[in-house]
Structures are given as structure tokens and as C-alpha cells.
Structure 1
């Protein structure tokens, strides 16, 4: 039986980050917090190789004004897992 996911308010998004290290997960969360108001992040161990799972809830109804000092976003994004679903996805 899968745990029941909490129902989020309109405009809220639950983001789950899985990274090889806590530092990598924190860096991604930092970019998200720069773009959207967010709750405090929650981190958990992921797997047996020292990986980290980080959860953060962001409010997509509020976005910052364009800023020249904003961190750059990759022009392209490729995923190694692009063609297969994650273990917890249906």
C-alpha cells in the first residue's frame, strides 16, 4: 500500500530531489528557493551509497522579477533516466 500524498494548495508543488551527495541536493534546492518561495527542505538518506533525497515545497504563484545576478540555468537538460520511470512513479 502506497502512503497517501498530502493534497497541496493550488500553485504549490512538492519537489523531490535525489542526488549522489547532500551538497548536490542542497545546490538544486538553492536554485529553486531563488526562483520560488519555499518551505524548509527535508532530507532523507537515499540508498546505500550515501545518496540524499531532499523534499521541498515551492509556491509557483509567486516568481521573482528577472535579475541579472540570478544563477544561470542550463540551456539544455538531459536525463540519464529519461526513458524509464522512477521507482516511486506509477
Structure 2
């Protein structure tokens, strides 16, 4: 079966992000850009529900920055709570 879209060049990946809000989609795209070189994102409506689709091409052969370790505290959102031993 023939693939409906041409494959990206070796070392590249086409990324499609679908989110309920443009802000959420941009946060994910920004996280990818911090790790990999990438093209400028292209934004599209995501159907009748008001969501957003972002498309970008990621170059996996050229990293944009050193990878950051996953947070050991389990911090999953941008909201950071102070712990008892923090001032």
C-alpha cells in the first residue's frame, strides 16, 4: 500500500500535535524545539471542537540543547508548589 504522505528525509520526523487549546499545543512544540532543531510550526484548526493542530519537522540529527533529566519530584505541571524545607 502506498503511503499517503511522502516520508521525511532520514534523520527527520514529521510531528503532528493535536490539543484542545493553542497554548497547550505550543507548549509541546516548544518542548520539542528545546531538544531538537525544528522547523517553524504550522497551525491549523482541529475540526469542529475548537482544538488546534500544529505540524512541525524535527531534525533528530541535530539537538538544540542538552537533554534535561526528567523531574525526580513528579512535577507534571508548570505550577510549582513549595515544599516544607524550601524558603
- Which TM-score applies when normalising by structure 1? 0.67
1:6 aligns with 2:6: yes
Q: Give the 3 Å change call, closer, same or farther, for CA 39–64 of structure 1 in structure 2.
A: closer
Mapping for residues 36-51 of structure 1, pairs under 5 Å: 36-51=36-51
**Residue matched to 1:82:** none
Structure with the bigger percentage of strand: 2
Give the drift of 1:38: 0.3
1:26-80 deviation line (CA, Å, top 9, x unaligned): 000000000000011011100212100110100001124536xx5x75778xxxx
SS of residue in 2 equivalent to 1:25: helix
Aligned length: 72
Any stretches of 5+ residues in structure 2 without a counterpart?
Answer: 75-87
- Which TM-score applies when normalising by structure 2? 0.69
Give the drift of 1:6: 2.4
**Residue matched to 2:53:** 53
Give the drift of 1:4: 3.0
SS of residue in 2 equivalent to 1:61: strand
Q: Give the 3 Å change call, closer, same or farther, for CA 44–73 of structure 1 in structure 2.
A: farther
Give the drift of 1:7: 2.6
When the two chains are superposed, the root-mean-square deviation of aligned CA atoms in Å is 2.6
